[in-house]
C-alpha cells in the first residue's frame, strides 16, 4: 500500500496541480482574512453570512486564528474538487486498469489514494493556517486591533484546536468528493454536483427548512470547523457528518470492487 501512496503523491506534486491548488488556498485565505479585518467597522458585517465580528472578539486569544476557521468552508470546496478529480480521472483516462496490473488488490489502491490525498490536505491546511495568522497580525495593526492576547497560552491552544477542527472538516469535504468521484466516475460530474450541493442546495434548504441542516454533511462539517455552534454541538456535528461519510465510503468501496474499471 505504501507504493500506492508514493505513486499518488507523485501525481499530487505535479506543478500543474499543486501550484494551482496552493494558489487557490492562498487566495481564499487572504480574501477571508482581509474581509474579516478590513470590514470590521462595516454595518454590513464582516463574517460569514453577514455576521458582524467586532474588535472585542478579534482581540480575544482566538482572534488570531478566527479568519482561518472562517476559511474552512472554501478550503473544503478546494479539497472536494481535488479528491473528486484525482479519483474520477482514473476512469476517464483509463489509468485504473494499469494500476490494477501492478496492484490487483483494489482496496489497497483505494486506501492508498485516500491516505495520499489526506497528506495533501494537511499541507493545504498548514499553508492556510500560517498565512491566516500572519495576515491577521498585519491587518490588526492597520485597523488598530489589540494583539496582546494573541501571544498567550490560551491563544496557542485556540490556534491548535482551530487547526485540528479545520483539518477534520477539510478532510471530510475531501472524502465527500472522493465518494462522488467513485460514484460518477467523471471529474466534471463529481465536482459540479459536489459544489452545487454544498454551496447552493444545502444552503438554500437550510435557510428555508427548520433544523434540516442537522442532517446535511456539508453544514455539519462547517460546524466542526467552527468548533460547534449555538444550534448544533461539536460532538453531534463530528460524529453525524463522519457517519454519513462512512456509509458513503462503504457503498462506493463495494461499487469500486464490483464495477468494471472502464467508464
pLDDT in tens, the chain (263 residues): 788 888 889 889 889 899 999 999 999 999 999 999 988 888 777 777 667 888 888 999 998 888 898 898 899 999 999 999 999 988 888 788 888 778 788 889 999 999 999 999 999 999 999 999 999 999 998 888 989 999 999 999 999 999 999 999 999 999 999 999 999 989 999 999 999 999 899 988 988 888 898 999 999 999 999 998 888 999 999 999 999 999 999 999 999 988 776 65
Enumerate the domain spans of the chain. Answer: 2-257
| CA angle in degrees (0–180, nearest 5) for 65-175-89 | 120
Q: Are 37 and 143 in contact (CB under 8 A)?
A: yes
Among candidate residues 43, 37, 104, the one with its CA nearest the CA of residue 261? 104
Helices (H), ranges, the chain: 2-12, 15-38, 55-58, 63-70, 72-92, 95-102, 106-142, 153-184, 187-196, 202-208, 217-226, 234-258
Full-prediction pTM beyond 0.85?
yes
Q: How far is CA 203 from CA 20, 131, 135, 163, 168, in A?
A: 27, 28, 29, 24, 21
Amino acid at each position: 500500500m505504501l507504493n500506492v501512496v508514493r505513486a499518488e503523491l507523485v501525481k499530487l506534486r505535479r506543478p500543474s496541480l499543486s501550484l494551482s491548488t496552493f494558489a487557490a488556498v492562498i487566495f481564499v485565505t487572504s480574501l477571508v482574512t482581509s474581509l474579516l479585518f478590513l470590514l470590521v467597522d462595516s454595518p454590513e458585517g464582516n463574517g460569514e453570512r453577514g455576521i458582524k465580528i467586532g474588535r472585542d472578539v478579534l482581540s480575544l486569544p482566538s482572534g488570531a486564528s478566527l479568519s482561518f476557521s472562517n476559511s474552512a468552508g472554501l478550503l473544503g470546496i478546494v479539497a472536494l474538487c481535488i479528491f473528486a478529480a484525482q479519483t474520477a480521472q482514473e476512469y476517464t483516462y483509463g489509468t485504473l486498469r494499469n494500476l490494477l496490473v501492478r496492484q490487483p488488490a483494489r482496496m489497497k489502491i483505494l486506501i492508498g489514494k485516500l491516505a495520499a490525498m489526506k497528506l495533501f490536505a494537511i499541507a493545504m491546511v498548514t499553508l492556510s493556517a500560517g498565512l491566516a495568522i500572519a495576515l491577521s497580525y498585519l491587518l490588526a495593526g492597520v485597523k488598530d486591533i489589540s494583539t496582546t492576547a494573541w501571544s498567550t497560552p490560551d491563544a496557542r491552544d485556540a490556534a491548535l484546536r482551530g487547526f485540528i477542527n479545520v483539518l477534520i472538516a477539510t478532510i471530510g469535504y475531501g472524502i465527500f468528493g472522493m465518494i462522488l468521484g467513485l460514484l460518477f466516475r467523471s471529474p466534471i460530474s463529481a465536482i459540479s454536483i459536489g459544489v452545487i450541493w454544498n454551496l447552493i442546495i444545502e444552503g438554500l434548504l437550510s435557510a428555508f427548512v427548520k433544523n434540516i441542516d442537522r442532517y446535511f454533511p456539508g453544514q455539519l462539517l462547517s460546524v466542526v470547523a467552527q468548533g460547534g455552534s449555538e444550534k448544533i454541538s461539536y460532538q453531534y456535528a463530528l460524529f453525524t457528518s463522519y457517519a454519513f461519510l462512512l456509509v458513503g465510503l462503504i457503498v462506493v468501496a463495494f461499487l469500486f470492487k464490483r464495477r468494471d474499471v472502464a467508464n
